[in-house]
């Protein structure tokens, strides 16, 4: 299939999956509330307590650990919670079946007067006490976009033919290579790393095959630090807990697509491009967090027409780095020895 015809066939797809998603991003400047995560209240207490709200409606109460080796926090109680409207709540109910030193037995209802990504305010219905809740920094989160330019050997995917979209003539050597997103979660003791993107596998005959999946361990390790090679490009961003949850939702969705064999396209590089695009754009759901190239899939899109399909993910990552270089967390600034601050 000629690339010009393939790109033309993507115009409507682009308008649906690209243009529509972008217009929603532009129009939506505030995000629904998400209580999932770790919070601390700013009300005065003799002993610091943090509250870990889970998606299943449970709340775990934690305090700094003094007795458990290799643990920063230990569990002191577990209760349940309920929001009247999870994405725009006005009331938070804490249900304690047995009661504890923080919440009495039964249901404690609190009015929510305001909320944002990183905080919310409650008023106790009985004594009128106002409490501000903020996200506790028990973890640090990073998102890395990484890619490597490689001359492809024996690459002959029918969709990704090396044909110029306008002249129809061969354009020379095909370049591609791995391109992926990497989530890093630090808890002060170890790093939890997850990756997904396009990788290259060499068959026995020397033909290279591109496929979607986690980055190989060796490749992941190479991009955990800056290589300084001209063939490599990466940008590492520090995220808030809320940003991590939003971007990681894209990861989970595409991980499921891979597992269920419901990827959007036949070509791995197109899938990688769409995955990276959706991951990056999820950063801007609450306003412009990063500057991004608006991918339209139309033939006047400079990224789509200038580069071969196998280069799209690489050039997209390169564009993110160029537009957001000041946000890049260098190796010197990466907090490898960070430990959580006690509340």
Lookup: tokens for 64: 């700094």
Give me the pLDDT at residue 18, please: 42
What is the block-wise mean pLDDT of the chain (343 residues), using blocks of 10 residues?
A: 41 39 42 88 71 93 68 80 94 88 86 91 87 89 95 52 46 77 92 95 77 95 92 96 93 97 94 97 92 83 83 94 97 90 58
Task: Give helix 268-282 / helix 312-323 axis angle, nearest 10°.
Answer: 20
Integer Cα distance of 18 and 67 in angstroms: 52
Using alpha carbons, select from 226, 119, 138 the residue that is nearest to residue 186: 138
- How far is Cα 141 from Cα 166, in angstroms, rounded to an integer? 43
For 300, phi and psi rounded to 5 degrees? -100, 5
Give me the pLDDT at residue 66, please. 62
Q: What is the pLDDT of residue 19?
A: 40
What contacts 16, CB < 8 A, 6 or more positions away?
none
- CB neighbours (10 Å) of residue 120? 21
Give DSSP secondary structure letters for 226-256: ----TTEEEEEEEE-HHHHHHHHHHHHHHHH
Q: Identify the residue whose tokens are 């959706």.
A: 278
Task: Give me the helices (H) in the chain, please.
Answer: 3-13, 20-27, 217-222, 241-260, 268-282, 302-306, 312-323
Pairs from 296-304 (Cβ < 8 Å, separation ≥ 24): 296/14, 296/15, 296/18, 296/19, 297/7, 297/10, 297/11, 297/13, 297/14, 297/15, 297/18, 298/11, 298/14, 299/4, 299/7, 299/8, 299/11, 299/165, 304/7
pLDDT for 297 equals: 74
Whole-prediction pTM value?
Answer: 0.76
CB 165 within 8 A of CB 318: no
Pairing of strands 175-176, 150-151: antiparallel
3-state secondary structure of 115: strand
Length of the chain: 343
- What tokens were used for 233? 């490009």
Rg of the chain (C-alpha set): 24
């Amino acid at each position: 299939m000629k690339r010009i015809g393939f790109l033309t066939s993507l115009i409507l797809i682009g308008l649906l999956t690209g243009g529509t998603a972008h217009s929603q991003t532009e129009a939506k400047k505030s995000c629904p509330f998400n209580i999932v995560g770790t919070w601390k209240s700013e009300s005065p207490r003799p002993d610091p307590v943090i509250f870990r709200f889970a998606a299943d409606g449970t709340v775990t109460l934690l305090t700094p650990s003094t007795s458990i080796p290799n643990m920063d926090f230990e569990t002191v109680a577990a209760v349940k919670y309920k929001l009247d409207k999870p994405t725009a709540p006005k009331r938070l109910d804490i249900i304690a079946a047995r009661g504890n030193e923080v919440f009495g037995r039964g249901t404690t209802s609190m009015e929510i007067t305001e909320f944002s990504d990183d905080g919310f305010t409650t008023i106790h219905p009985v004594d009128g006490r106002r409490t501000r809740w903020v996200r506790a920094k028990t973890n640090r989160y990073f998102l890395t976009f990484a890619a490597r330019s490689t001359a492809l050997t024996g690459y002959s995917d029918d969709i990704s033919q090396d044909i110029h979209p306008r002249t129809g003539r061969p354009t020379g050597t095909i370049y591609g290579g791995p391109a992926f997103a990497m989530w890093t979660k630090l808890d002060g003791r170890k790093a939890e790393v997850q990756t997904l993107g396009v990788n290259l596998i060499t068959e026995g005959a020397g033909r290279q095959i591109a496929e979607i999946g986690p980055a190989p361990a060796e490749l992941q390790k190479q991009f955990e630090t800056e290589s300084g090679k001209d063939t490599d490009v990466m940008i590492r961003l520090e995220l808030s807990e809320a940003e991590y949850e939003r971007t990681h939702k894209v990861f989970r969705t595409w991980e499921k697509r891979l597992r269920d064999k419901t990827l959007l396209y036949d070509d791995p590089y197109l899938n990688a491009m769409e995955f990276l695009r959706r991951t990056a754009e999820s950063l801007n759901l609450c306003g412009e967090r990063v500057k991004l190239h608006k991918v339209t899939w139309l033939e006047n899109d400079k990224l789509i027409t200038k580069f071969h399909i196998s280069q799209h993910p690489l050039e997209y990552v390169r564009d993110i780095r160029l537009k957001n270089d000041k946000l890049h967390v260098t190796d010197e600034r990466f907090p490898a020895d960070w430990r959580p601050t006690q509340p």
